[in-house]
Amino acid sequence: MSATEIDFYELLGVSRDADGGTIKSAYRKLAMKHHPDRNPGCSESEAKFKAISVAYDCLKDPQKRAAYDRYGMEAFQQGMGGGAGQQGFGDIGDIFETIFGQAFGGGAQRGPRRGADLRYDMQVTLEEAFHGKETQVEIEVSKHCEDCHGTGARPGTRARACNLCQGHGKVRAKQGFFVVERPCPNCHGRGEVITDPCRSCRGEGRIDTPQTLDVEIPPGVDTGTRIRLSGKGEAGPQGAPPGDLYIFVHIAPHAIFQREGTTLATRVPISFTQAALGGEIDIPDLAGETVTLSIPAGIQSGKQLRQRGAGMPVLQGRGRGDLVVEIAVETPTKLTKEQRSLLEQFRETETGDECPESRGFFEKLKTVLGA
């Protein structure tokens, strides 16, 4: 939790609509609990005592409280909460740094920060997502300069401490009744400046370089899967550690299968005789094996058959999802004379009981229309 996120009401344990008496009572209880005289030698209690004093001094004053309610901590950063010379607040950066481990104003730190993380989008086929694969990516990324070893200073020289912040990387300024720490504008928080920059990298400490990286795509990846390559991102300035490279996976459309998580789905057309009489169909799966599905007699278009364990692998887990096959009964469009003759003979024997859904529909239609 940063100091900018501290809530004075929460610090005192009161609601935002608490009246002055409630705030005062809450402060007195906490002040008694954390008073240095009751906790001799306890730096944490001392810091908490100072912090609740800061909160109470703000909330007990109607003007300061109104400014805080409207603008939050920003009111005091901009000097809206009161004039210079306010007493009793001390250095709130030091107080909250002791309690929350971070200085007010975002925790400015000395020295350069790690390099930026990079993103690379990779498209893989459904078969590659099923089996996984090892591949390579080519990317241009900044690396530490070999001539200056990432320092940014000309070989044989070194950076000097910043004169403005005395090497601390941050400066303090009084705003309203707070003393606020900010990154040093001269060295940008590094704590040092380079007077004789390296000619190869011009003081950046890094140079853009083409890189070929090995990437392992695990079985079961899906669109949106993110693979992290630690330390393969952009190099940090002035020798700081590099960031990470994130590979974002995208699965290419497949001609046969559609994917939903670990489930594979496909649509299989069968002849009307096979639908009527039943039988079996064989479907090759992505594992290179054959899945045999039993077709029950009388199956209708749209019926789904499920084969457990014939879908996609579970990413970083065990087992596989399911294969779902949607049946589409195909009506023949080309018939021989013999086939047509046989079908006509079949039609002559029909009673309507062979297709109960069709017969039921027309009977219902007559009833509704009164025909």
Paired with 208 in beta bridges are: 142
In the chain, how long is the greatest CA-to-CA distance? 109
Angstrom distance (rounded) from CA 186 to CA 244 = 28
Q: Which amino acid is at 186?
A: N
Strands 133-144 and 258-260: unpaired
Contact criterion met (CB below 8 Å) for 81 and 169 = no
Q: Residues within the annotated binding site? A: 145, 148, 162, 165, 184, 187, 198, 201
Closest CA to 276 of 292, 293, 300: 300
Q: Enumerate residues 6+ apart whose C-beta is below 8 A from 122.
A: 135, 137, 215, 217, 247, 248, 249, 250
- Report CA 328 to chain centroid distance, whole Å: 40
Contact criterion met (CB below 8 Å) for 289 and 279 = no
Closest CA to 139 of 224, 245, 241: 245
Contact criterion met (CB below 8 Å) for 303 and 360 = no
Q: Enumerate residues 6+ apart whose C-beta is below 8 A from 66.
A: none
Q: Residues within the annotated binding site for Zn(2+)? A: 145, 148, 162, 165, 184, 187, 198, 201
Angstrom distance (rounded) from CA 143 to CA 240 = 11
Q: Enumerate residues 6+ apart whose C-beta is below 8 A from 174.
A: 84, 180
Paired with 120 in beta bridges are: 247
Question: What single DSSP character describes residue 285?
Answer: -
For residue 47, report the phi and psi dihedrals to the nearest 5 degrees: -65, -40
